[in-house]
Each structure stands twice: as structure tokens, then as C-alpha cells.
Chains A and B, each alone.
Chain A
């Protein structure tokens, strides 16, 4: 048996941020969701009342959604770049720092895709619903 990782010193180092990057896309979804929900709740309870219109809220959530989607796309881009590191092996199943790096990038990209769709779903709510009733 060989010592662990002895041939692997030039490969990308294990950094915490590459693991945490996985969670950035879904976290942006969660923040977008929470802010949208809380803003709508406060809007209907404190600003316009239960019979009020969502017009002003629509712009707020629209801008919020654009910011969130931009953040998700940016994170996805980082993931994609990490995934494109070196010689790609599509299964990321090699015992190498390169594959570990690509795997985390790929998973980040996938999670950003899911977060993008989920964020868009949530934003659609204000397209279809116009009042606080």
C-alpha cells in the first residue's frame, strides 16, 4: 500500500470554500423564499391590509428575485469553472484531488440549477396573485 495522496501534490488543495460553495445556491433560494414570505406577510398585515393590492410588493419581489437569480447564476458559474478544471472525467470517481475538485464544482452547478428553478417558481406566485386576500 502507498501513503495517502503522495502523488497528488500539484492538484487543487482541499479548501473549505469549495465544500461550502455547494450550499450557496440553495441558501440563496432559502433567503429569497424567507424574505419574500416575510415581506408579503408584513405587507398584508401592516401596510395594505387583507384587502389590499400586491402591486408595490410585486416590484420589491421582482427586484429581489433578479438579485437572487443573479447570485445563483454567478455561483453556478464558479461551479462550472471548478468542474472544468483539468481533464474532465464525467463520473468524478477517481481518487485524485482533481476529481474531488471537479465533483464539488459539478454538484455546485447542479444545485444552482435546482435553486434557479425553485426560486423562479416562488417568484411566479406574485405574477399570478394580485391581492392579499
Chain B
């Protein structure tokens, strides 16, 4: 009798596993590249990111070769500028930020016991955008047309003194990649908030998830100002709108503000996810829970906020009033507090636990040592008078490399050693790992420690050579030798990760005896992730919940099967992680790939000013994305609820704030509003720096057209919300009527918005005032056009029977978009129409 029950059980389990394998496996052959699940996309993302990293390392070695001896002619000044610019840009935009996105896409779902993140196709789209944009930007170096203005592209150098495509490649190529970052932020924030396993309340989340949540939020406020800045910059380069041209009222400092409002938080966007890896590695090494979980959450959230009050410390020498500098100096000192808190928590955990030395911990120790030195020089340069002396010298180069390599590269190396078995199923060499660490650690310090002194002796950064006999020679030679030692450590690391290991046995399961869920997986990992999704009762479930692994493996937990042949994962409530929905996630497709290719076309062709082709490419991207949305999103399920096991039944469809799509829209629009706020900031920035901005009397756009536009758009907003309500009440006629009227009002509002500056003959190239008015109007118009498409889309969805009273995700999300649109247009009207009246 018992035997037959067991046989039966084994048969059920085998059937479940077969179904899970069938639906989660990647397609064979060339169609493999259509995969969208997090394990594949995460792996590609990681590999490509490291390829760009290696490229930037080679550029660094070229620079160090040039600087090894005085008056060297290994690289010409022009080539050196390109190499230097590309080294910084690639390291920041193509390695430091994307590596966190890559790692997170790869490990976050495992950490949360989820089968996938909520928007796999969005991840794939982000990845392809990143790859295309990255190859485009890096490729420019081989044609001698790479950007050469430094990684922050200051005008007027890049607008008035550098012809050629370099700056356009930088602006458009990297703007394109920023899309990938925002896509990743949406994916990861919703992932952390909604795809946690049942029972993983917010006080039980792995610290990694906390950090990712904070960093995702930071991206929403940090990247959009740069996108707005890029827009202004490209409008100046392509169409001669004079935002940064002082002869026509522009101001190069505006770019510096927008760049560093992005640039400084970006340092923490890079640092926090890396330190998140440390927060996972340290408790495992100490074999005890982290000391001060709440304090680390304080550090993560606190750093996230304070990092936005630091940007002007990159601009201490621009001649701003001392009082402005003082505010930023104060905030720069304050951010040292939370940064220090987390380091003390790590040290306390190590002291309180049983410290087991391992290669990941070696890298963590090295990271902390290097980062603390970089942090201390950071406290020094946060003091304005010291910064006046050290600004633009090699002291800064030393400082930033100590911060970034200690705060990012060493933790990432620790993460590679730690997570390698989880991803590949096999361990890296312990012996080689120790050698790699010491070579890297020693090489790094030989390379960068002397730069502090070279800087204090007065060597400016970014020079392609220097004269002999003024005290720079020996220090530079030592730095160059150190750089090559450091690079050989990296080479060893890559050799170990890439060498074939066919004969090496698989690693034991949970090789580090860690306590968190990502180590639940089998070796080698299965395509489905976890066999069934467990109920979590602890921060370290593998330590504290006996038999968890067995229960999961035997399919005794949630979602052990894929009966309907669909990819599914569990959505839970945000704070207490109660099961809320079974989310069907999409399967492999090339649609994300093509959408990225066409989006890439828009940016790449625009670089060469081939605007017709760029617009055709944009139209193709638009159509591809529409097809993607129409066929694959908000799909009405075949039944309302699904039994997910253990007697729990949850809905298969949720709309409004219960749906993940609503959250994605909300998050995207927060980023969008930040970009808009940056443009408005530009308007008021010009107001503070000029006595005649807006000119008196203002040449346009007058009060009438902006106010009319705002009135029409607000009416369209009200009608859209009415349509949403009618749809929910299943009053079809009311819905169609309200939405049709809303469409007409939207059209009217758009035309009225354009009429203001158009009818008053504002010429954007003549002066910065008309240009600033026009850029706000263009921004509003593009958003209204998108709002119009959404209205038509909802009309069509209901007509096609793909949206009903109950299944109204589309209409709910469009309603949400329209809230933001109404604010955008109302503020635009108030600024361009109202402010000249009161200024």
C-alpha cells in the first residue's frame, strides 16, 4: 500500500517536472536567441557587460602606456582624448551600472524564489538596447570618430570646439542605453515589491532586495535629468538651439547641473548594489544572520536620499556663491554617516560570527580597505577649500578609482566567486582565486596610491603627456607598472571563469552553506528556477526552516506544476507577501529583439543626421511595440482563478493598482516626470542667471493659447477617467462616447499648445528663451501624442473584445498615464504662459 502511494507520488512529481521543463526550457537552435527568461537574459547581460569592461581595461592600459614616460608619443593627443573619454564612458555606462542590472536579473528571482521577474520581455528589450547601443558607442573608436570631450562632455568644448560625430555618438548612444537602465529599474522595483515568496514580509527580505529597491528608485530620479540634458544638448548640436551657447543667452553650467544631478547619484547607483553583494556574502562567511539589519536598511535608504544633495560638489570651482557650495559640502559630509554605518554592520557580523576565510571574503576585505581609503579622500574633497586645490588633478583620479574599484569592482569580483556555482553549477578555483586577489590588490595600490601624490604635486588629469623633470616621472612610471599588474590579475580572473571545465564535477548544492533562497536551486540549475515556491518564515530560511529544501524539491509548496502549459510565477502583496495573483509571464519571442533593433535605428541614424531613415526606424519600433502589447499583454485568462497548491486559490488576472503593469506605468511615469521637472528647472535656471529671462515684454507664446491648451487637455483627462468608469460599469455606449470626445479634446489641446509659440513666431535658434519655450512645448506635444495613441488603443481593445468591464488593465493604466499627462500640460502652460506675466 505504502509503496503504491510512493510510486504514485513519484509519478506525479515526474509529470510536474516534465511539464515545467517543457514550458521553461529555452528554444533550441538559432531560436535560442529569442529567449526572454531571466536566467538566459541575465547571463547574456553579464557576459556582454564584462566584454565592455575588458574593452575599457585595454583602453586604460593604452593610457598608462602613454603616460609611463614623459613626452611620450605612443598615442597622439587626439587619440588619447578619445581613449580617455571612452574609458570613462564605457566603465560608467556600459559596465558599472549595467553589471548591477545584469546580476540582479540573474539572481534576484532566485533570491525571491520566483520563477521569473514580472516583465521578461522588457528585460530582453533592455538587454538588446544595451548591446546595440554599447557596440555602436565602442565601435566608433575604431573609426577614429569616438567622443573626445571627457566622460561628462562639458560644453562649450563639445559644442563649439569639437566637430565630428563623437559627441553625437556619445549623446545618442548613451541616451539609448539609459532606456535600458530605466527598463531595468521598472523590472527590479516591481520584482522586489510584488514577486516575493509568500510569507517573505518586508522585514524578512534579503538585504540585496532592499538595496535593489533603493537603487531602482534612485535611477528614476537620477537618469531622467541626464536624458533631459542629452535632449537639450542634441537639440543644440543638431538644430542649433542655443541652450549652452552664452552668446545667445545659453549657459554651459546648465549642462553641468543636469549632468551631475545624474552623475553623483550614479556613483551610489553603482556602489549600493555592489555593497548589496557584500551584504549577502558576509552573513554566509560568518555563518550567522547579519548584525543590524534595520541599520543597513537605514544606510541603504538614507544614502539613496542624501546622494541627491551632493551634485554641486563636482562644481565647486564654477564660481557659484559660497553659500550654495556650503549646502552641498554639508550634505557630502552627511552621506559619510550611512556609508559608515553599513561598514560597521559588516565588521560586527564578521566579529560576532565564525569567520570562515574564503575567496569571496578575501575580496570583500580588500574592497572595504580600498573603499574606506577612497571614502576618506572623499570627505577631504567634499570640503570646498581643499577641493579648490585638488580639483581636476590626479588626486581626483586616485580618489574616484579608490571609491569605484573598492566600492564596486572588488565586491563584484567577490560576487563572481560567490555566485559562480549558482549560475554555472561549478566552482572557481580557490587556489587561483587567492592569487588573483593578491595580484589585483597589490597591483591596484601600486597603480593608484601614487596618483594622490602626482595630483598634489600638481599634475592635471586628462593630459596626454607631461614634461620631464617636474616630479611626475617616477610616480607615473610606478602607476603604469601597477596598472599592468592589476590587469594581469583581471586576466587570471577571466581565464578562470571562461576556461572549459567539462571534467570538473558539479558543485555540491548550496556550496557555501548560505541561508538565503538563491541557494535552493539544484546543481546544475534547472530552467524553471525553484521546483515549487516555499512559504518563508525567516530571513535565512535555509538555516532556520528544517526540511525546506525537501519540501520544495518534492513539489509540496506553491505552484509545483504548469498544468495549462503556461509560464507562471506568484505575485504577492507588497508589505506582507500574501499570495495575490498567479501571473502568466510571456514565453520566448523575437519581438523584444526587433523592437530594440528599430529603437536603435532611431538613435543611430539620428547620429548621422539621416532623419528620414531614423523616423522610419522609429515608426517600425512603434509598430513592433504595439504588436507586442496587443498580442501579449493584458491577456484574458481562460478561467478566473487558479489553485496554486496548499489549498490556496488566487486570481489569474488583476487590474488597477493590484496589477504589475499598473506599477510599471506608475514607476515609468515617475521617471518621466523627473525628466520633465529637469526641463522646467532649465527654464528657472535661466531666469536666475539672466535679468531678461523671460524678456519683457515676452515675444510669446502669450497667455491665451497655453491656457486654452491646458483647459482642453484637462477636459480630455476628465473624459478619459469617465471612460474608465463607464468601461468598468460595462456601459459600452458611454465608454465609446467619452473616449471619442477625449480623443478630440486631446487633438485640440495639442494644436493649441503648438499654436502658442508657432503663431507668435518664436524662433528657437535665435535665443535661449524661445528655445526653452519650444522644448517644453515639444515635450508636452510628444506626450499628448502618446496619450492619444493610448486612447485609440483602448477603444480598439474594447472593440476587439480584448478589454472588458472586468478585464480592464489597459484602461486603468491609460488612466494613470493621463494623470501624469494632465500635470505635465498644466505645468507647461503655467510656466510658458503664466510665468512671463508675473516675472
Contacts and interface: CB of A to CB of B under 8 A. Distances in A.
Interface of A: 1-5, 14-16, 18-19, 22-23, 26-27, 29-30, 33, 36-37, 40-42, 44-46, 50, 54, 57, 91-93, 95, 97, 99-100, 103-104, 106-107, 110-111, 114-115, 117-118, 121-122, 124-126, 128-129, 131-133
Interface stretch (B402-410, B572-580, B818-826): B572-580
Nearest to B304: A26
Interface of B: 198-199, 201-204, 289, 293-295, 297-298, 301-302, 304-306, 308-309, 321-324, 326-331, 333-334, 337-338, 534-539, 551, 556-557, 573-579, 646-648, 688-689
Given A4-B579, A37-B324, A26 B688 contact: no
Contact of A45 (B329, B539, B578, B688): B688
16 contacts: A16-B574, A23-B301, A29-B309, A30-B309, A33-B309, A40-B327, A46-B688, A91-B289, A95-B538, A100-B575, A110-B298, A114-B298, A117-B337, A121-B334, A132-B322, A133-B322
Nearest to B201: A100
Contacts of A93: 203-204, 289, 293, 538-539
A91 B535 contact: no
B333 A121 contact: yes
Given A1-B535, A1-B646, A3-B646, A104 B203 contact: yes
A36 B536 CA distance: 45
A18 B574 CA distance: 12
A83 B328 CA distance: 33
Nearest to A8: B576
A54 B297 CA distance: 38
A27 B305 contact: yes
Given A30-B309, A92-B293, A128-B326, 20 more contacts: A1-B557, A4-B199, A4-B577, A5-B576, A5-B578, A26-B302, A29-B305, A33-B327, A44-B321, A57-B323, A91-B293, A93-B289, A99-B201, A100-B202, A107-B301, A114-B337, A117-B337, A121-B330, A121-B331, A132-B321
B537 to A, nearest CB: 4
A59 B39 CA distance: 57
A26 B199 contact: no
A124 B203 contact: no
Contacts of A36: 327
A15 to B, nearest CB: 8
Contacts of A125: 323, 326-327, 329-330
B540 to A, nearest CB: 9
Contact of A92 (B203, B330, B551, B575): B203
A125 B325 CA distance: 9
Q: Nearest 6 A-B pairs (CB), nearest first?
A: A125-B326, A26-B305, A103-B203, A14-B575, A121-B330, A118-B334
B140 to A, nearest CB: 37
Nearest to B200: A95
A95 B536 contact: yes
A57 B576 CA distance: 46
A20 B557 CA distance: 32
Contacts of A40: 321, 323-324, 327
Contacts of B304: 26
Nearest to B334: A118
Nearest to A2: B535
A71 to B, nearest CB: 15
A103 B202 contact: yes
A111 B313 CA distance: 23
B203 A99 contact: yes
A41 B253 CA distance: 14
Contacts of B201: 95, 97, 99-100
A33 B647 CA distance: 52
A129 B648 CA distance: 64
A132 B322 CA distance: 7
B305 A107 contact: no
Contacts of A3: 646-648
B308 A30 contact: yes
Which of A54, A92, A110, A129 gathers most chain B CB within 10 Å?
A: A110
A67 B201 CA distance: 34
A107 B551 contact: no
Contacts of A128: 326
A15 B507 CA distance: 43
A22 B301 contact: yes
Nearest to B534: A1
Which of B301, B304, B539 gathers most chain A CB within 10 Å?
A: B301
A101 to B, nearest CB: 9
Nearest to B556: A1
A41 B688 contact: yes
A121 to B, nearest CB: 4
B202 A19 contact: yes
A117 to B, nearest CB: 6
B815 to A, nearest CB: 19
A111 B298 CA distance: 6
A107 B199 CA distance: 20
A117 B202 contact: no
A124 B330 contact: yes
A30 B124 CA distance: 35
A1 B579 CA distance: 15
A107 B579 contact: no
